[in-house]
Amino acid sequence: MRLLSFPSPERCKKAPCMAKVFISDIRPNQEIQSLFVAAERQLRTARNGKPYLDVKFTDKTGEISGKMWEKAAETAEHFKPGDVVYLRARSELYSEKLQLNVTEILPVPDGGFDSSDFLPVCPLDLDVLFERLEKALNQISDGFLRRLCLDMIGDAGIAARFRRAPAAKSMHHAYLGGLLEHTFSVIGLAYRICAHYPDLDRDLLTAGAFLHDIGKIEEFVYDVSIEYSDAGRLVGHMVLGVQMIEEKIRGIEGFPQETAMLLKHLVLSHHGEAQFGAVKLPASREAFALHLADDLDAKMNAIRRIVSKPGYGDSTWTGFETLFGRHFFRGFPASAPEEGPAECGEGPDAGGPGQKGRGNF
């Protein structure tokens, strides 16, 4: 590899030998020399007319933005989004957000890194989630919908990818196992919605909650970063999901055409609005309910990630989040607890709300 005035390939090969610094451990005014995934890369122009690099770096603990002001155009030629790179930078606070002032970016050869350093994993027990998901699907009363869902989850190839796939590239549940966690959580919300509005078709809504994002097993690829597949960019997970549903339905003799149509509508409309990717607008009560449950779970997961980002210290508020157009309240600084006996029901074994496990129903 010829790198012009860029550092030599020999130096690139040495970079992976350095101890990994994780994004969650980065604090302001810290010198950083470590490996990260360059998840996004844009060459921009500063007010003075000089080019600079704007890069989003990620690892399994989070993401951080970095700016490179010198040799930006030259450096940009030697790595692409999704590459693992060696980074030399200094961390700093800018507009209340932690970012990196980058002085050097080097490409890292394949095999020069541990891929497990870069993709985050669902914090919950995936075996337990999968078992509870199967139990929920077995509770569907409608024989055709139950058969469809169990055939889908019983397909070994689909099940393996479903357990591992992320639910999104960046906004919510963007980690291995995120699709399983998100799906199970949406089913839990669907149960609660149906308990409050008993005239809804719980079987249809449960099946829709399970299948609404099934196409994401085809939409993403993930080794050291989460990227869209060709099918994901050209077709999208809603249409991919409907194709998977239609294939399974063909193997179920007598599956009602009306039920199939209503179920596919739930999948195609669950993003709510065309501007957010919905193929159709929700046109049934169950479709509206699924859209709202999906949107709520996605946003709550995203906000949880935002408020727990490293670098805020004891700050009461996050930095300004462009996606949501606001700052988020992180909570008042905790005061030192007074010594004394724990309140009844508040201990770790008391079986309070925190003991139920997310998504129980």
Residue 345 pLDDT exceeds 60? no
Judge contact between 137 and 150, C-beta under 8 A: yes
Task: Give the pLDDT band of residue 315 (cuts 50, 70, 90).
Answer: confident
Of residues 149, 155, 151, the one with CA closest to residue 137: 149
CATH fit for domain 126-304, picks 1.10.3470, 3.30.70, 3.40.50, 1.10.3210: 1.10.3210
Provide the angle, in degrees to the nearest 10, between the axes of the packed helices 178-196 and 126-138. Answer: 40
pLDDT at residue 37 tops 60: yes
For the chain, what is the mean pLDDT?
87
**pLDDT one-digit tens code per residue, 147-166:** 999 999 999 999 999 999 99
| Confidence check: pLDDT of 1 > 80 | no
Percent of the chain past pLDDT 90, that is, above it, reads 70
- Per-residue pLDDT at 8: 46
CB–CB of 23/61 below 8 Å?
Answer: yes
Give the Cα separation of 58 and 160 in Å (integer). Answer: 25
Q: What is the pLDDT of residue 347?
A: 35
**CATH 1.10.3210 residue ranges in the chain?**
126-304
Q: pLDDT for 170-229, tens place per residue?
A: 889 989 999 999 999 999 999 999 999 999 999 999 999 999 999 999 999 988 888 899
Q: What is the pLDDT of residue 18?
A: 63
Give the pLDDT of residue 260.
98
Q: How many distinct helices (H) and strands (E) make up the chain?
A: 12, 7
Cβ count near 73 (within 10 Å): 11
Greater model confidence, 2 or 326: 326
Residue 338 has a pLDDT of 52
Q: What is the architecture of the domain spanning 9-115?
A: Beta Barrel (2.40)
Residue 61: pLDDT over 70: yes
Kindly report, residue by residue over 231-244, the tens digit of the pLDDT. Answer: 999 999 999 999 99
Tell me the pLDDT tens digit for each residue of 124-140: 999 999 999 999 999 99
Q: What burial class does residue 337 get, using C-beta atoms within 10 Å of its C-beta: 0-12 exposed, 13-18 middle, 19+ buried?
A: exposed
Q: Mean pLDDT throughout 46-53? A: 92
Contact 75, 105 (CB under 8 A): yes
Query: Does residue 68 carry a pLDDT above 50?
Result: yes
Cα–Cα distances in angstroms (integers) from residue 323 to residues 9, 145, 221, 226, 327, in the given order? 38, 37, 24, 19, 10
pLDDT at 42: 94
Average pLDDT over residues 256-260: 98
For the chain, give every residue range classified as CATH 2.40.50.140: 9-115
Mean pLDDT in residue range 331-358: 46
pTM, to two decimals: 0.75
**According to the model, what pLDDT value does residue 196 have?**
98
Q: Residue 181's pLDDT is what?
A: 97
Rounded Cα distance, 225 and 227, in Å: 6
CA 186 vs. chain centroid, Å, equals 15
For residue 227, give the H/E element and its range.
strand 226-228
pLDDT band at 5 (very low <50, low <70, confident <90, very high): very low
Angle subtended by helix axes 178-196 and 156-164, to nearest 10: 90
Q: Determine which of 213-222, 229-238, 246-255, 308-317 has the lowest per-residue pLDDT on average.
A: 308-317
Name every residue whose Cβ is closer than 8 Å to that of residue 77 and which is 6 or more positions away in sequence. Answer: none
Q: What is the mean pLDDT of residues 264-288?
A: 96
Supply the pLDDT for residue 335: 62
pLDDT score recorded for residue 82 = 86
**pLDDT-based confidence at residue 361 (cuts at 50, 70, 90):** low
pLDDT at 317 over 50: yes
